[in-house]
């Protein structure tokens, strides 16, 4: 497809052409294209996806409920710095805000850890609908315990203002990560993007397994924390999934660019409701891998036109090194008909991994070290890594001391280590390896949590996995760690020239 050629449109709405992404990312400009200005596909200064539209506005009606109306008067940024909430949480400052609430950073003075606290704006405290929706969000978060979903700690009220306390994930989010790449006129590598997407899909799978639909997946709700950990946040539009319910009992709202076409249907089978999250995941994956969203949607009108009928460009046309292997998985995930869409987040995750396996690479120069006192894990990890990195030399050792000796004998390209080992544990081994070598380090654990991730990240670990692991998750994270470390080394080398 040429730069100025538009993909074929199956049909349109009222004679208008749906807005479809057509231009290759500047990083993939051909020789002919390179004489043209390299214009990013998006203006990074524009809020790409922060506006969540209530269902009433999407359907062209306003039900009069206060929750669907913008707050009036001065903007409230939350409790003042120094305020003590719940006799335990001292407010440090604002973190962010949305239409209905604000999020502040606070210090848990009892447990000596940072937390994030979300509170309803005063303008909404008298609205029963707003308070109920806020409680639904807190309950939805409490039902999910997964390393790729933000954890909730407690719920309470401050001067009649409901709040809930949740895990604080320092770092950035996928929206900023993508915008940074565009500003630098580059695309994330395939393995870096797939490493994040694998975690996103796992988090969504856990949300669905808890009986919940997220309802507002988008890049700004996907946090990137220490050691490249993805944590799904903001479940303000989540709702219980009831497969026994009647069609039309699952109203949709959300962000236009990531909202599934069936949002306005009243005949949708309850069994298909969770596939709206799959659609959002597909749009996010398309954008992460190609540098473009499948459709240029900025307004509700754009969304309705697109959903009236448009065909996204083949991902391989926007980014040739994806090859055609990724075309079917990405396009099926964003299929307009939920019955023909990828059936689950986990199925989508596996389809991306299968597409990646079709891209052959020579790993003969790689040496991977695996350290764990669990013989079963050593066998599983070595088999998975041998499959994911054909030709790589893989050495397994039973403890941290043996791992150090192995590295001293011959430096490794990657270390996969257990957190709990006799003698030299994962924390000590991470510190020792980082002090002497620049190799990427992936830590696996059966019981680690956010404090362990933060500590290990500070020591220099590059990724985490919680046992029992999926072999493909280990492969995806190992590839991402190797790719990211290599990219940083290249960038550093260029900087010194």
DSSP string, 229-288: -EEE---TT-EE--TTS-TT-S---B-GGG--GGGG-SS--GGGTTHHHHHHHHHHHHHH
Helix axes 275-290, 190-209, angle to 10 degrees: 170
**Catalytic residue status for 420:** no
CB-based contact 159:17 (threshold 8 Å)? no
Q: Who's near 158: CB < 8 A, 6+ residues apart?
A: 79, 83, 85, 86, 119
Q: Which of 216, 277, 346, 372 is catalytic?
A: 216
Q: Which long-range contacts (CB under 8 A, 24 or more apart) does 377-383 make?
A: 377/418, 377/444, 377/467, 380/469, 380/471, 381/416, 381/444, 381/469, 381/474, 383/471
* Burial grade of 305 (CB within 10 A; 0-12, 13-18, 19 or more): buried
DSSP string, 23-89: SPPGGG--TTGGGS----SS-TTS-SS--PBPHHHHTT-----GGGS---SSPP--SPTT-EETTTE
Query: What distance in Å separates the CA atoms of residue 217 and residue 204, rounded to the nearest whole number?
Result: 9
DSSP β-ladder status, 441-445 and 463-466: parallel
Q: Where are the alpha helices (DSSP H) in 144-185?
A: 174-183
- C-alpha radius of gyration, the chain, whole number: 23
Residues linked to residue 295 through DSSP beta bridges, in sequence order: 20
Query: What distance in Å separates the CA atoms of residue 81 and residue 312, rounded to the nearest whole number?
Result: 47
Provide the annotated active-site residues: 216
């Amino acid at each position: 497809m040429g730069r100025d050629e538009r993909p074929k449109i199956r049909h349109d709405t009222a004679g208008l052409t749906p807005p479809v992404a057509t231009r290759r990312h500047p990083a993939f400009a051909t020789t002919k294209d390179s004489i043209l200005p390299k214009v990013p596909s998006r203006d990074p200064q524009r809020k790409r996806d922060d506006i969540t539209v209530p269902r009433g506005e999407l359907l062209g009606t306003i039900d009069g409920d206060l929750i669907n109306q913008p707050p009036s008067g001065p903007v409230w940024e939350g409790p003042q710095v120094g305020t003590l909430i719940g006799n335990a949480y001292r407010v440090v400052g604002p973190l962010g805000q949305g239409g209905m609430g604000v999020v502040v950073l606070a210090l848990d003075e009892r447990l000596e850890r940072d937390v994030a606290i979300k509170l309803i704006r005063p303008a909404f405290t008298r609205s029963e609908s707003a308070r109920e929706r806020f409680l639904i969000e807190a309950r939805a978060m409490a039902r999910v315990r997964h390393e790729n979903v933000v954890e909730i700690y407690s719920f309470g009220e401050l001067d009649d203002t409901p709040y809930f306390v949740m895990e604080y994930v320092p770092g950035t989010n996928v929206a900023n990560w993508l915008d940074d790449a565009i500003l630098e006129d580059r695309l994330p590598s395939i393995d870096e993007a797939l490493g994040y997407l694998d975690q996103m899909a796992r988090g969504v799978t856990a949300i669905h397994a808890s009986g919940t639909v997220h309802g507002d997946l988008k890049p700004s709700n996907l946090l990137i924390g220490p050691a490249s950990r993805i944590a799904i946040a903001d479940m303000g539009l989540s709702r219980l999934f009831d497969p026994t319910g009647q069609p039309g009992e699952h109203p949709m709202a959300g962000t236009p660019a990531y909202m599934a076409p069936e949002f306005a249907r009243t005949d949708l089978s309850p069994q298909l409701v969770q596939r709206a999250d799959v659609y959002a995941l597909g749009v996010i994956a398309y954008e992460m891998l190609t540098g473009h969203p499948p459709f240029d949607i900025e307004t509700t009108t754009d969304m309705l036109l697109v959903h009236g009928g448009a065909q996204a460009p083949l991902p391989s046309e926007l980014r040739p090194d994806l090859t055609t292997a990724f075309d079917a998985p990405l396009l099926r995930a964003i299929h307009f008909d939920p019955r023909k869409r990828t059936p689950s987040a986990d199925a989508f995750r596996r389809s991306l991994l299968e597409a990646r396996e079709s891209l052959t690479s020579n790993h003969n120069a790689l040496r991977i070290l695996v350290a764990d006192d669990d013989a079963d894990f050593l066998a599983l990890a070595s088999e998975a890594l041998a499959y994911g990195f054909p030709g790589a030399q893989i050495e397994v050792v039973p403890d941290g001391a043996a791992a150090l000796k192995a590295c001293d004998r011959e430096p490794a390209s990657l270390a996969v280590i257990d957190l709990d080992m006799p003698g030299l544990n994962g924390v000590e081994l991470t510190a020792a390896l980082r002090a002497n070598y620049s190799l990427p380090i992936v830590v696996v654990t059966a019981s680690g949590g956010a404090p362990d991730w933060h500590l290990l990240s500070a020591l220099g670990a590059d990724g985490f996995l919680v046992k029992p692991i999926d072999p493909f998750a280990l492969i995806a994270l190992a590839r991402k760690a190797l790719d990211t470390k290599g990219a940083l080394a290249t960038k550093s080398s260029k900087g010194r020239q």
